[in-house]
């Protein structure tokens, strides 16, 4: 996983990491879905890290995490940084946080934000519960 490689993060100029996995990592070469380990957050260093543990389930309430995630991304970018937002597959949780940021920062609709994301990463697709949360987010940020 790119987020675990300090060399990859350095190469791509990543100064801040938003982790929605809750610190869970698949053991190397584990394909059975059962071999997971929980790692502590990285020690303070050059990069800012924020862990916002989210479960990729339609019934998981991601709304309380959106504000913290958007603020973290905005602050890092505002300081001239580059942010990696990640989950395990880069499909639902990370896409939801990235879409919320785009919606608020650029006054985009859910549809426009998700279109931008899928142009950059075609597999982005928030689960139905997260998409519903983004619709609520849109109503709050586009007042």
Q: Which fold has domain 2-22+38-141?
A: 3.90.190
Catalytic residues: 87
Domain ranges of the chain: 2-22+38-141
Q: CA-based angle 97:101:103, to the nearest 5?
A: 115
Quote the DSSP letter at residue 2: G
- Rg, the chain, Cα only: 15
- % of the chain beyond a pLDDT of 70: 80
Lowest mean pLDDT among 12-26, 71-85, 124-138: 12-26
For residue 85, give the 3-state DSSP assignment. Answer: strand
Structure tokens at 91: 């499909």
* Gap between the Cα atoms of 63 and 30, Å rounded: 31
Closest C-alpha to 89, from 66, 60, 123:
123
pLDDT number for residue 100: 98
- DSSP of 15-84: -EEEE-STTEEEPTT--SS--EEE-PPPPSSSSEEEE------TTS--HHHHHHHHHHHHHHHHTT--EE
35 and 26 in contact (C-beta within 8 Å)?
Answer: yes
Using 50, 70 and 90 to split pLDDT, how confident is the model at 25?
low
pLDDT number for residue 138: 96
pTM of model > 0.75: yes
Give the model confidence (pLDDT) of 103-119 as tens digits: 999 999 999 999 999 99
């Amino acid at each position: 996983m790119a987020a675990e490689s300090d060399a990859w993060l350095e190469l791509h100029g990543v100064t801040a990491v938003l982790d929605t996995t809750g610190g869970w990592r698949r053991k190397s070469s584990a394909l059975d879905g059962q071999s997971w380990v929980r790692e502590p957050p990285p020690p303070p260093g050059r990069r800012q890290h924020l862990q916002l543990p989210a479960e990729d389930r339609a019934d998981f309430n991601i709304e309380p995490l959106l504000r913290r995630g958007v603020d973290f991304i905005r602050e890092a970018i505002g300081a001239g940084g580059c942010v990696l937002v990640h989950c395990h597959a880069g499909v639902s949780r990370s896409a939801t946080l990235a879409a919320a940021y785009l919606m608020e920062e650029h006054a985009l609709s859910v549809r426009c934000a998700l279109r931008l994301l899928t142009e950059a990463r075609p597999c982005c697709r928030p689960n139905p519960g997260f998409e519903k949360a983004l619709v609520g987010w849109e109503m709050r940020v586009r007042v």
